[in-house]
């Protein structure tokens, strides 16, 4: 598989992504976007080598490089908004396992497009690089990022927050931001360690949050927040240690930010219908979009939305113009302090219809479209309205299903929601009967059909 994905460059360090290739990526980026380039990196063990290679590549193609140091990804977005530069990159693989690394980059205000990624890959393959030399300077952006947050947030109530950085890039930053805002903080896994020994760097996998849950209960925190490896995602836990479904967190933000100021809200199309319903209740315009950081962000910016969110834990704020896990966590603390309610009570008041997790089924690449076509035909026969924002989505009066093909693995992914458990099983059964016998049988086993 190519390391040039839809939204960034990513691969297994040493096998798919090497220092040599990262150097060439740096030269390609400087060729595409001559001028000043901001560069940071996360805490992965391979990041220092790859970041050095990226910087050398940028310099050798004439860029004025500003080294931001070791930072969470939102600090790069902050630097791009407040610094004198039109392009930036950070070496990170975000929430992926520790053996991965990559390069997230931005040129201008808009997210990376597939066309821009293909253009970068073409420049790198041809070696059609601009000449150097460049200039290297440094900026301690973390200090300015923390100062910005300290001016923006002041605790309406001195809550107790459990901060779990997962040994990632938010470790040295998030606890200080909460303390400067007036909160009491208990730290968990806040010492950076690019091997991520304490838990998965993907907190959206709630199964990895056992220690986080225990810590919330043990220290008596009002709520907990778990960040991903590079700090652009956040997952919340209530005061009992129970993870709060990301759609419910998004609904709470919708109710806070749209009160008296209805605007569009963008969300990924596999989100629970409670998100759409909450936006409508607040007078806003719900805008479903295909999953993926670049797709959500582009729609968010194009529509001047106050808010956007993904099931994975990305939260975008119109106030910022980008996503920031720490800004989301501080907003949640502000929301709880203003309401005086417990997070468990607020979450319990948001009732999601029965919904499946992402169900992944093995399917060779050359058969994936055929499977989607079979599901679409079955859904049409059953009276569904069909859309193709990403894969096949079938909407029924009492629920919906979404099947998407993977570009990174031999599998398709199914998610479905319905008004009742019986109706949800009926939707899964519809898909099971449409698929080849082996896949249908495995899907039927999942639902008990």
CATH number at residue 22: 3.40.120.10
Quick check: is 304 in a domain? yes
Both 280 and 328 in a single domain?
yes
The total of structural domains in the chain comes to 3
Q: How many CB atoms lie within 10 A of CB 133?
A: 10
The three-class DSSP label of residue 163 is strand
Does this model's pTM top 0.75? My answer is yes
Quick check: is 354 in a domain? no
Q: For position 372, which CATH number holds?
A: 3.30.310.50
Both 72 and 97 in a single domain?
yes
Both 165 and 246 in a single domain?
yes
Both 330 and 405 in a single domain?
no
Quick check: is 147 in a domain? no
Instruction: Yes or no: say if 428 and 442 are a contact pair by the CB < 8 Å rule.
Output: no
Alpha carbon distance 449, 447 (integer Å)? 5
Quick check: is 148 in a domain? no
Closest CA to 141 of 51, 65, 67: 67
Final residue of a domain: which of 348, 380, 395?
348
Both 94 and 53 in a single domain?
yes
Q: Which of 233, 293, 314, 404 is catalytic?
A: 314
Rg (CA), the chain: 22
Alpha carbon distance 373, 356 (integer Å)? 21
Instruction: Yes or no: say if 312 and 325 are a contact pair by the CB < 8 Å rule.
Output: no
Residue 299: active-site member: no
Final residue of a domain: which of 142, 165, 183?
142
Residues 6+ apart with CB under 8 A from 346: 252, 336, 339
Both 102 and 157 in a single domain?
no
Alpha carbon distance 403, 270 (integer Å)? 10
Closest CA to 403 of 424, 382, 389: 389
Closest CA to 426 of 386, 403, 396: 396
Residue 314: active-site member: yes
Both 169 and 317 in a single domain?
yes
Quick check: is 78 in a domain? yes
Query: pLDDT by residue for the chain (449 residues), tens digit each?
Result: 689 988 899 999 999 999 999 999 999 999 999 999 999 999 999 999 999 999 999 999 999 999 999 999 999 999 999 998 989 999 999 999 999 999 999 998 788 888 999 999 999 999 999 998 999 999 999 999 999 999 999 999 999 999 999 999 999 999 999 999 999 999 999 999 999 999 999 999 999 999 999 999 999 999 999 999 999 999 999 999 999 999 999 999 999 999 999 999 999 999 999 999 999 999 999 999 998 888 999 999 999 999 999 999 999 999 999 999 999 999 999 999 999 999 999 999 999 999 998 898 999 989 999 999 999 999 999 999 999 999 999 999 999 999 998 766 789 999 999 999 999 999 999 999 999 988 888 887 766 54
Q: If you search the block for the tokens 């093909």, which residue do you land on?
A: 405
Residues of the domain holding 413 = 359-447
Q: If you search the block for the tokens 């759409």, which residue do you land on?
A: 276
Both 88 and 171 in a single domain?
no
Tally the residues of the chain.
449
Secondary structure element (H or E) that encloses residue 50, with its range: helix 47-60
Both 192 and 322 in a single domain?
yes
Structure tokens at 409: 């693995």
Final residue of a domain: which of 108, 142, 176?
142
DSSP string for residues in 117-151: HHHHHHHHHHT-PPP---EEEE--HHHHHHHHHHH
Quick check: is 1 in a domain? no
The three-class DSSP label of residue 48 is helix
Structure tokens at 282: 């607040």
Quick check: is 65 in a domain? yes
Closest CA to 416 of 436, 394, 433: 394
Instruction: Yes or no: say if 70 and 43 are a contact pair by the CB < 8 Å rule.
Output: yes
The three-class DSSP label of residue 187 is strand
Both 76 and 16 in a single domain?
yes
Alpha carbon distance 358, 443 (integer Å)? 12
SS (H, E, C) 382-443: CCCEEECCCCEEEEECCEEEEEEECCCCCEEEEEEEECCHHHHHHHHHHHHHHCCHHHHHHH
Q: Which of 46, 94, 291, 447 is catalytic?
A: 94
Quick check: is 33 in a domain? yes
Both 273 and 343 in a single domain?
yes
Both 161 and 194 in a single domain?
yes
């Amino acid at each position: 598989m190519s390391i040039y994905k839809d939204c960034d460059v990513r691969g297994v360090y040493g096998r798919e992504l090497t220092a040599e290739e990262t150097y060439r990526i740096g030269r390609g980026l400087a060729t595409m976007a001559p001028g000043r380039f901001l560069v940071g990196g996360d805490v992965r063990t391979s990041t220092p080598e790859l970041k050095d290679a990226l910087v050398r590549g940028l310099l050798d193609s004439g860029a004025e490089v500003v080294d931001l140091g070791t930072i969470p990804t939102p600090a790069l977005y902050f630097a791009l908004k407040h610094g004198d530069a039109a392009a930036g990159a950070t070496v990170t693989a975000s929430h992926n396992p520790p053996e991965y690394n990559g390069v997230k980059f931005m040129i201008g205000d808009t997210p990376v497009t597939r066309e821009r990624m293909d253009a970068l890959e073409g420049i790198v393959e041809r070696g059609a690089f601009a000449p150097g030399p460049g200039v290297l300077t440094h900026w301690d952006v973390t200090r300015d990022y923390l100062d910005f947050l300290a001016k923006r947030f002041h605790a309406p109530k001195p809550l107790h927050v459990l901060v779990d950085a997962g040994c990632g890039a938010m470790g040295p930053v998030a606890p200080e931001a909460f303390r400067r805002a007036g909160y009491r903080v208990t730290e968990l896994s806040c010492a950076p360690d690019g091997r991520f020994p304490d838990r998965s760097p993907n907190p959206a996998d709630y199964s990895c949050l056992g220690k986080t849950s225990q810590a919330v209960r043990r220290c008596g925190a009002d709520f907990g927040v778990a960040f991903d490896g590079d700090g652009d995602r956040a997952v919340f836990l209530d005061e009992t240690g129970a993870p709060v479904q990301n759609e419910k967190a998004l609904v709470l933000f919708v109710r806070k930010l749209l009160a008296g100021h209805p605007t569009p809200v963008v969300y990924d199309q596999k989100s629970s219908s409670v998100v759409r319903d909450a936006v409508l209740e607040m007078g806003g315009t719900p805008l479903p979009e295909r999953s993926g950081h670049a797709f959500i962000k582009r729609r968010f910016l194009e529509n001047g939305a106050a808010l956007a969110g993904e099931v994975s834990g990305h939260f975008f704020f119109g106030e910022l113009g980008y996503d920031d896990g720490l800004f989301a966590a501080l907003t949640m603390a502000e929301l709880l302090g203003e309401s005086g309610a417990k997070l468990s009570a607020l979450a319990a008041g948001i009732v999601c219809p029965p919904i499946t997790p992402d169900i992944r089924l093995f399917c060779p690449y050359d058969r994936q479209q055929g499977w989607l076509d079979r599901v679409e035909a079955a859904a049409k026969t059953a009276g569904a309205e069909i859309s193709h924002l990403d894969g096949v989505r079938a909407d029924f009066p009492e629920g919906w299903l979404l099947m998407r093909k993977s570009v990174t693995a031999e599998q398709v992914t199914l998610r479905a929601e319905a008004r009742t458990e019986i109706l949800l099983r009926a939707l899964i059964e519809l898909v099971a009967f449409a698929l080849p016998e082996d896949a249908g049988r495995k899907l039927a086993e999942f639902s008990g059909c």
